[in-house]
Amino acid sequence: MATIINWSSFVEEMKRKIWSFIKWLILIIVFFILLWILFWSFGTIKAWEKWILLRFWAVTGLTYNEWLYFKIPYIDDMVIMNVRVLKEQIDAWSASKDLQTINAVVALNFHLSSEHVGQIYREVWLDYKEKIIDPAIQESIKASTAKFTAEELITKREDVKNQIKELLKNKLAPRFIIVDDVNIVNFNFSDSFNKAIEEKVTAEQEALAAKNKLERIKFEAEQKVAESKWKAEASQIEAAALKSNPEILQLRSIEKWNWVLPQVTWANTPFVNIK
């Protein structure tokens, strides 16, 4: 009888310990679940981010700025929207006013309106570049280049840029996308147009070289005329001087004399044969 009682007590003791272990295990599990919930419910937001709260994958309209956020696990979700200045670069085929085919490479600097990121996400999710910005850039490039000739696209590059920028502002502002700047990276023209431009530049350079040569010849001719005129005036002055001073002529004859006396003399010869 005592043995049966001892066995029964042992069983009861084991049950008590098992239940105690189960309770502690449940408490530990609950603790880790709560810890996990807290870990996934709170987070920090960076200065350049805007977080959108989704509940059952639907936009709630709640957004979070820089600091902390709270969400319910498995019920709520957070979408990150970058509100820093971003860059989007695309190339577009278009035509100029004189119907030249052009490939334009344009870079857009923009940022999302932080107050309207929820509406942007509701309309296009995170595909605002593909669905809004890229088509707007394409349309703005085509509309702007059509107002300029191919040559003007080069010589009036700043005007083309300003026109594209203005069109983009008007297209993107209603979609809550702010244009910061536009840069034309490059204009690529057809081979025939590039050849025509090269030939034109060559012709202009040759014309300039011919003009410079003509100016040089004209200058040299003017120099020769001036030199001839100067020599003529000098001869006139010299003749007048000799006429008024015959002694100068005699002096020059003496200067040119080679110190050899003539063998035959005439009556008017100023020199005498001393042989």
Per-residue pLDDT, 251? 62
Per-residue pLDDT, 109? 98
CB 175 within 8 A of CB 122: no
CB proximity list for 60: less than 8 A, separation 6 or greater: 53, 54
Structure pTM? 0.62
Alpha-carbon distance values, 167 to 89, 127, 143, 171, 201 (Å): 16, 21, 9, 6, 33
Residue with tokens 């936009």: 59
Residue with tokens 């009036």: 156
What does the block give as tokens for 15?
A: 């049950």
Sign, Cα dihedral of 118, 119, 122, 128: negative
Instruction: Report how far residue 57's alpha carbon sits from residue 59's, in angstroms, rounded to the nearest whole number.
Output: 7
Per-residue pLDDT, 274? 42
Q: Shortest CA distance to 184 belongs to which of 103, 110, 253?
A: 103
CB 214 within 8 A of CB 222: no
CATH classification code of 85-189: 3.30.479.30
What b/e readout covers 23-62, taking b as 16+ CB neighbours within 10 angstroms? eeeeeeeeeeeeeeeeeeeeeebeeebbbbbbeeeebeee
- Element spanning 92, H or E: strand 86-95
Sign, Cα dihedral of 21, 22, 28, 29: positive
Task: Output the tens digit of pLDDT for each of the chain's 275 residues.
Answer: 444 557 778 778 888 889 989 999 999 999 998 888 888 787 777 777 887 888 887 888 778 776 777 787 888 888 889 999 999 999 999 999 998 999 999 999 999 998 999 999 989 989 999 999 999 999 999 999 999 999 899 999 999 999 999 999 999 999 999 999 999 999 998 887 777 776 776 677 777 777 887 788 888 888 888 777 877 777 777 677 666 766 666 666 666 666 665 555 555 555 544 44
